[in-house]
Amino acid sequence: MQDIEVEHQESTDHANTLGVDMRKFLMWVFLGSDCLFFGAFIATYLLYRNSSIVGPYPHEILDIPVTSASTFILLTSSLAMVLSLAAFQRGNTSAARFWLFATAFLGSTFLGFQVFEFYHFAHEGLTPKTNLFGATFFTLTGFHGAHVALGVIWLFSLLGVSYTRGIPPEKSMNVELAGLYWHFVDIVWVVIFTVIYLLSSLPPSS
């Protein structure tokens, strides 16, 4: 075990046992925890998926083409995010800002879709109080939307920082952290799209 000792530290301030960025590590621990948060909401949705005693039921109201479009938008925003990070790491500030803005803009568009969807559902008679489908659906997608909204605020803040203080390549970790959070939100949506939309929007088989 002697051979893995770290004798050549840069400073005496603190050790870095694993040689990883502390904040990135913190973000990953948090994301692991957030898996349980969304997991419990998704579990509740699945447990109650056949329990609503009044309509509207999922197959009467979920709209696959519209949600496919918003899924595409969120996936594309993840692509813009990694391109922005890559540009920040290269020091190509103007490209980085463009892609960062694109990410935040696509995220905002996704939120617009969600607001439209919620209004549409309410108009069709589905509110969180209507039945268990409404309660579980709005709670799950609502908390996902809140995560997206927080991410959009974070991204716009970073854009502002890049204009005021600048984000040189050695500070690109600030962008990478926001990126990890953003991709996580995207990944959760992949699960929601699969489980809530594709798999439970079918009419009961004949």
Partner 1 sequence: MSTGEHLDNHHDSDHPTAKQYVLVGIILTVITILEVGVYYVEALRSLFAAIFLGAGAIKFAFVAFYYMHLKMDHYLFSAFFFGGLVLATSIAIALMAILGAF
Partner 2 sequence: MATHSTAIKGVTERATYTGLMGWITTVDHKRIGILYGCTAMFFFLVGGLEATVVRMQLYSPGMDLVSPGMYNSLFTMHALTMIFLAIMPLGAAFFNFIIPLQIGARDVAFPRLNAFSYWVFLFGALILNGGWLFNTLPNVGWFAYAPLTATEYSGAGTDFFICGLQVLGVSSLAAACNFIVTILNMRAPGMTLMRMPVFTWMTLIISLLLVFAFPVLTVGLIELMFMRFYEMPFFNSNQGGDPILWQHLFWIFGHPEVYILILPAMGIISDIIPTFARKPLFGYGFVVGSGVAIAFLSFAVWAHHMFTTGLSALAVSVFSGATMLIAIPTGVKVLNWMATLWGGSLDLRTPMLWSIGFIATFVVGGLSGVMHASPPVDTQQQDTYFIVAHIHYVLFGGSIMGIFAGIYYWFPKVTGRMMNETLGKWHFWLSFIGMNVTFGPMHIVGILGMPRRIYTYPSGMGWDFLNQIETIGVFIIIAGMLFFLQNAFRSWKNGEIAGDDPWDGRTLEWTIPSPPPEYNFATIPVVHSREPLWDSKHPELGDHLPSVTGASDDVDTESIHMPNASYWPAITAIGVGLGAALLMVNPILSISGVIISIVGVYAWSFEPAAPEGH
- Residue ranges that bind partner 2, judged by CB under 8 A: 1-2, 4-18, 20, 22, 25-26, 29-30, 32-34, 36-37, 39-41, 44, 47-48, 51-54, 128-129, 131-132, 134-136, 139, 143, 157
DSSP state for residue 152 in the 8-state scheme: H
Binding to partner 1 (CB under 8 A): which residues in 50-69?
A: 50, 64-65, 68
Instruction: Report the partner that residue 190 touches, choosing among partner 2, partner 1, none (CB closer than 5 to 8 A by kind).
Output: partner 1
User: Which CB atom, from 8 or from 123, has the smaller least distance to partner 2?
Assistant: 8
In the chain, the DSSP E strands lie at: none
- Report, in Å, the least distance between residue 72 CB and partner 2: 29
Kindly give the residue spans of alpha helices, DSSP state H, lying in 48-63: 58-61
Q: Exposure string (b/e) for 111-121, b if CB count within 10 Å is 16 or more?
A: bebbeebbeeb
Pair 148, 110: CB distance under 8 Å? yes
Question: 135: helix, coil or strand?
Answer: helix
One-letter amino acid at 128 equals P
User: Which CB atom, from 138 or from 184, has the smaller least distance to partner 1?
Assistant: 184
Give the C-alpha separation, 194 to 197, whole Å.
6
List the structure tokens of 145: 């939307």
Q: Which residues bind partner 1 (CB under 8 A)?
A: 18-20, 24-25, 28-29, 31-36, 38-40, 42-43, 46-50, 64-65, 68, 71-72, 75-76, 78-79, 81-83, 85-86, 89, 179-180, 183-184, 186-187, 190-191, 193-195, 198-199, 202, 205
